Chain A
Amino acid sequence: MTHTDLCYASATTLSGMLDNRDLSAVELTEHCLARIKRFDSQLNSVITLTEEQALVAAQAADQRRAVGEATPLTGIPLLHKDIFCTAGVKTTCASRMLQEFKPPYDATVVAKLSAAGAVTLGKTNMDEFAMGASNETSFFGAVANPWDTTRVPGGSSGGSAAAVAAGFAPLSTGTDTGGSIRQPAALCGITGLKPTYGRISRLGIIAFASSLDQAGPMARSAEDAAMMLNAMCGVDSGDSTSADVSVPDFTASLNRPIAGLRIGLPREYFGGDLDPDLAAHIHKALSELEAEGAQLVDIDLPHTRQAIATYYVIAPAEASANLSRYDGVRFGHRCDNPVDLMDLYERSRSEGFGAEVQRRILVGTYALSAGFYDAYFKKAQQVRRVISDDFQRAFSQVDVIAGPTAPSIAFHHGEKAADPIAMYMEDVYTLSVNLAGLPGMSVPAGLINGMPIGLQLIGRAFDEQTLLRAGHFFQQRTDWHTQRPTLAGTSS
């Protein structure tokens, strides 16, 4: 196996190789680290590389394999989005505010994946505080899309998506508040799953919008995502909103046939604004599922458009409070020589937060302020229920809802940066899923002008299995997920 082939091997394959001693975790980790060091200058996908710790973890993984106490993830390298707290390792949220922040604790997800034996290579770049759809709001600079470095990787989990697409690691973690796993997965040609709200503990994940945030796996196949999800889920006594529901083995049902699966196509997702080329690719992809025996059914999600307004009230409102703790007192950026308390607050926060974060804090503060609460926040919460009811109704007719993940292929850097509204429209197909708390997944479904597009699959609450199964069958019939971008300086 060549270096590149090894770096693009699936986690499932690598797990088998580690099991058979065809490869050691240390070798694999060294390959990944070498690739990141060689190519990440083109992408800027990694903020912090934890080389030494990774090698120590890899050695421990090899020992674990040797004594037969391994899990499928033992020795598999992965990258964490820099929103997951990692004990003693810088966790910046891509913000100047947390530029030097080393949390004294691990996020539950980090602890679980480490306990399973996964090897953390480092922390990935992202939109600042996960606010963005292009990875251009990072304090550490924009991330490039490995398929075309003049284009964005999507966001906010852009670094995690770009790194997996570039073969830096088979797996990465992401978080998704309005599309932040699925949209970059689509734009970078990888598989990304946002589980049901409550499926994965939020403890130790730096909060953006508490009632919408959800962590999930980013991988190169549904099968790998299922394997990774197995290690991430479960109720956490430290997160009141984590759901006390049984966790299935997500890999066990991957091969159950999808014949008879009813797939709903929302008219609103395929209407006027959708690029015809993109629509054609999505229809082509859906016909693959139809060929497996799934039935396609037209459905309505009538408030798709208003979901944007709903989201851009609720998410900023929750964020405005979640980000109040960054005040320069106990952690994070503190301005030089504050003259008084107000000065400490205002300068620390204005210096520490970037423009988009400040904009959302302002919007959220406004939506909650005296006299506007009913018209904005409460109204948005009511519309949220209306949207959730739309999904409930749809799921009485179908098992899965499908459509495009994003309205277009990856755009160029700077193209939408000036207009917040244009950027917000990137999430039109994804954010209603967060509002309803449902699981959603993006799988690679074609290339347009050499750039990947994603097929989004939306499921019933806590039914990630069906999404993974549908994704897996799709990936058995297609090879979009095995396509690789070409990085400068490589032949593949």
Chain B
Amino acid sequence: MKWEQVMGLEVHLQLATQTKIFSGAANRFGAEPNRQACAVDLGMPGMLPVVNELAVKYAVMFGLSIDAAIGKRSVFDRKNYFYPDSPKGYQISQFFEPIVGEGSFTIPMPDGSTFPIRITRAHLEEDAGKSVHDAFAGQTGIDLNRAGTPLLEIVTEPDFRTAEQAVAYLKALHSLVTTLGISDGNMAEGSMRCDINLSLRAEGSDELGTRTEIKNVNSFRFVERAIGVEAERQRDILEDGGRIVQETRLYDADNNETRSMRSKEVANDYRYFPEPDLLPIIIDETYIETLRATLPELPGPKRQRFVQHYALSDYDAALLASERTLAAYFEAVTASCGEAKLAANWILGDLSAALNREDIGINQCPVTPEALAGLILRIADNTLSSKLAKQVFEGLWRGQGSAEDIIEAQGLEQVSDSGVLEAMIDEVIANNPAQVVQYKAADEGKRKKLSGFFVGQIMKASKGQANPQLLSTLLIKKLDR
């Protein structure tokens, strides 16, 4: 039988606020254990939560960016469960009336196509603390620094069919929330964690199969792998006539497998009820419209604009629009040189390669947009061949001044004087009579290949500075004579 994978994703996004969602303790990654957990975060007797306005604002910004219905009245609820990283014995979340309702999201796929998915809801809640299992003999250590970190939980409909789609969604979501500036999106530090609900069904069926939930997958690569191995596990069970148990599973990256989470196996009854320590959050139209007006240009519209306005390919546009700083860099280069296509090629090509090599972000790039634009202008006016341009770029990267400075200092200007080139051609022809004979004897098809020998010789003689197009034209003319 052919099986179809059906997946819905839940992303827990840590919001980039200064403080916790319900307390004034700092919200920063990496502090010493329990140094950023105040009495409220610890659930000390008599302590009460107060809602952080920035967390609310960020949630609304997200909602607006996916055209979702914003809950004009949203309510916090208590989700009751005992676990040592949940200090109050309940998590403050939103169950009945979330702040963000249904929305939609268009995902660019790697092949340049797009794919729409539906967002079910997004709600605010507090993060839990962390357990440390291996530092104490027979004991687990609890660090509550993370407890109370604002989370936006973003839930999709079961609209995904492939791991590729799931990863594309996560990348697009990452791009969206970092463009909005509501999260740093740092997956390695847990700022963006993904739960995957996955089931299989016979292809063509409309019914959903029994699903499992894979918790806390924390990189794009692991998402892809976790889906692969879990789908395979379910397929094996189904093909053997077995049944899928609805359960929570954990992706074990070391062994590339999913396994049942025993701690979550006890039947949960979360006993949600409205949090009586908090009151409804009322959001009015003015607030929404004010926020809407200040939203930055989002990756989707930006992508379309790049295609239309700069005539970029869908692929290049999607890549450039996915990161706010990258897009800004591109636009600065283009504004300075007027060569959008070349700018895109250079940014996505040599510049990105160099950034990757040094493992730095575009905001730490040593080459300013103006400097890159200067290089591109010299390419556009044929001063530099692509080979020479690479050499100049390395100079820019190493801080050897502007493109002009480097060209002059290294004498890299392209030789486009036909008189000079013709003299060089004549010399090479004169020194290599055998190759000339061979060339002349060859048919049209082979001649092109044989001309390469002469081009190589002349490039060598010109230290690579010969204008290749002009050289090619002049050489053929002389050889064919």
Contact residues of A with B, CB < 8 Å? 85, 91, 93, 98, 101, 103-105, 107, 202-207, 209-211, 237-241, 317-318, 320-321, 323-325, 327, 329-332, 341, 345, 365, 368-370, 373, 377
B108 within 8 A of A: no
B273 within 8 A of A: yes
Contact B44 A331 (CB under 8 A): yes
Interchain CB contact (< 8 A) of B80 among A202, A332, A368: A368
Known contacts A321-B80, A369-B269, A369-B271; is-contact A203 B89 (Cβ 8 Å): no
Contact B45 A330 (CB under 8 A): no
User: Whole-angstrom distance from the CB of B95 to the nearest CB of chain A?
Assistant: 11
Known contacts A240-B50, A240-B279, A345-B82; is-contact A321 B90 (Cβ 8 Å): yes
Closest 6 CB pairs of A and B: A324-B89, A210-B276, A368-B271, A211-B276, A325-B43, A204-B46
Contact A317 B84 (CB under 8 A): no
Report chain B residues within 8 Å CB of A239.
Answer: 48, 50
B225 within 8 A of A: no
Known contacts A240-B279, A241-B279; is-contact A206 B45 (Cβ 8 Å): yes
27 interchain pairs, CB-CB under 8 A: A91-B45, A104-B39, A104-B44, A204-B46, A204-B47, A206-B45, A207-B46, A209-B276, A210-B276, A238-B48, A238-B50, A239-B50, A240-B49, A241-B278, A320-B80, A321-B78, A321-B89, A324-B88, A327-B82, A329-B142, A330-B42, A331-B44, A365-B271, A368-B271, A368-B273, A373-B271, A373-B272
User: Whole-angstrom distance from the CB of A366 to the nearest CB of chain B?
Assistant: 10
User: Whole-angstrom distance from the CB of B84 to the nearest CB of chain A?
Assistant: 6
Contact with A along B69-85 (1 / 0, CB 8 A): 00000000010101010
Interchain CB contact (< 8 A) of A241 among B42, B45, B269, B277: B277
Known contacts A318-B276, A329-B142; is-contact A237 B46 (Cβ 8 Å): no
Q: In whole angstroms, what is the CA distance A225 to B47 when docked?
A: 26
The chain A residue with its CB closest to the CB of B84 is A329
Report chain A residues within 8 Å CB of B277.
Answer: 207, 210, 240-241
Contact B273 A98 (CB under 8 A): no
User: Whole-angstrom distance from the CB of A487 to the nearest CB of chain B?
Assistant: 33
Report chain A residues within 8 Å CB of B47.
Answer: 203-204
The chain A residue with its CB closest to the CB of B270 is A370
The chain B residue with its CB closest to the CB of A242 is B48
User: Whole-angstrom distance from the CB of B39 to the nearest CB of chain A?
Assistant: 6
Contact A202 B90 (CB under 8 A): no
B98 within 8 A of A: no
User: Whole-angstrom distance from the CB of B402 to the nearest CB of chain A?
Assistant: 55
Q: In whole angstroms, what is the CA distance A317 to B90 when docked?
A: 13
Contact residues of B with A, CB < 8 Å? 39, 42-51, 78, 80, 82, 84, 87-90, 142, 269, 271-273, 276-279
The chain A residue with its CB closest to the CB of B81 is A324
Known contacts A240-B277, A241-B277, A321-B89; is-contact A103 B46 (Cβ 8 Å): yes
Q: In whole angstroms, what is the CA distance A179 to B277 when docked?
A: 20
Contact A85 B45 (CB under 8 A): yes
Contact B46 A203 (CB under 8 A): yes
Interchain CB contact (< 8 A) of B273 among A206, A317, A323: A317
Of the listed residues A98, A202, A324, A341, the one surrounded by the most CB atoms of chain B closer than 10 A to its CB is A324
Report chain B residues within 8 Å CB of A240.
Answer: 48-51, 277-279
Contact B46 A85 (CB under 8 A): yes
Contact B44 A103 (CB under 8 A): yes
Report chain B residues within 8 Å CB of A85.
Answer: 45-46
Q: In whole angstroms, what is the CA distance A93 to B44 when docked?
A: 13
Report chain A residues within 8 Å CB of B51.
Answer: 240
Q: In whole angstroms, what is the CA distance A207 to B275 when docked?
A: 13
Q: In whole angstroms, what is the CA distance A224 to B51 when docked?
A: 36
User: Whole-angstrom distance from the CB of A281 to the nearest CB of chain B?
Assistant: 37
Report chain A residues within 8 Å CB of B89.
Answer: 321, 323-325, 327
User: Whole-angstrom distance from the CB of B173 to the nearest CB of chain A?
Assistant: 31
Contact A331 B45 (CB under 8 A): yes
Interchain CB contact (< 8 A) of A330 among B43, B46, B80, B279: B43
Contact B269 A370 (CB under 8 A): yes
Q: In whole angstroms, what is the CA distance A206 to B269 when docked?
A: 26
